[in-house]
Amino acid sequence: SQQGEEDPQALSIQEGENATMNCSYKTSINNLQWYRQNSGRGLVHLILIRSNEREKHSGRLRVTLDTSKKSSSLLITASRAADTASYFCATDESSYKLIFGSGTRLLVRP
Amino acid sequence: NAGVMQNPRHLVRRRGQEARLRCSPMKGHSHVYWYRQLPEEGLKFMVYLQKENIIDESGMPKERFSAEFPKEGPSILRIQQVVRGDSAAYFCASSEQGNYGYTFGSGTRLTVV
């Protein structure tokens, strides 16, 4: 089964609101990453959080990691229409292999 | 640095034809990875290659699919006798070392008609 599973599958918010996406995984990890994918495009790496970190910030992004619950969350603050995309978490099955979840499709309404 | 270059961006093939997808890694990167994304799903690992070597092909279907990364030139993902179920986006990534610190290309979207 999938290592990472995002929740919710789809999220629609108004511009300016915050968006929170969650990711759960099953096995031990060294790192967890979040990626963004605009419709029909490639993946853009957003942020990596290591297993010994609990929280990390990058601009309007905030990622948390709870290894005891095997879960992570991605918070996008003050969302913009340009944030409309699919967001994926990915965990490392090995030093080189990533396991992706099915993604959260975020729609930010102007 | 042009990043990871994949071509073609879009490829249409009839059932039974062959599809050849190309990936040129970033300059200085000798590790290449191929992932497949079915509609509405996340990416799934297919194969990891270094120059002239297949390191891990555990995600490759046993039949019709093959990959290579020759000493010179791009990495090639080859799908023989394509079927409708092969329709997907195929992404290539590359890294300097064999780890997950890699960069993805924009993908090739294969449509089998």
Query: pLDDT, tens digit, for every residue of B6-46?
Result: 999 999 999 999 999 999 999 989 999 999 999 888 899 99
Q: What is the average per-residue pLDDT within A4-11?
A: 84
pLDDT at A1: 34
Residue of A nearest to B47 (CA): A97
d(CA A36, CA A47): 10
Confidence of residue B97 (pLDDT cuts 50, 70, 90): confident
**Would the CB atoms of B95 and A4 count as touching at under 8 Å?**
no
Contact pairs from chain A to chain B, CB under 8 Å: 55
3-state SS, residue B54 = strand
Q: What is the average per-residue pLDDT within A19-46?
A: 91
Nearest to B57 by CA among B68, B70, B48: B48
pLDDT in tens, A74-103: 999 999 999 999 999 999 888 889 999 889
Percent of chain A with pLDDT over 70: 96
**Would the CB atoms of B48 and A45 count as touching at under 8 Å?**
no
For an interface test with A, which of B43, B58, B94 has the most A Cβ atoms less than 10 Å from its Cβ?
B43
**Which of A14-18, A36-40, B29-33, B98-102 is least confident?**
B98-102
Q: Residues of B with CB below 8 A from A46's CB?
A: none
pLDDT at A93: 81
Residue A55, pLDDT above cutoff 90: yes
Residue A37, pLDDT above cutoff 90: yes
Residue of B nearest to A32 (CA): B100
pLDDT at B100: 66
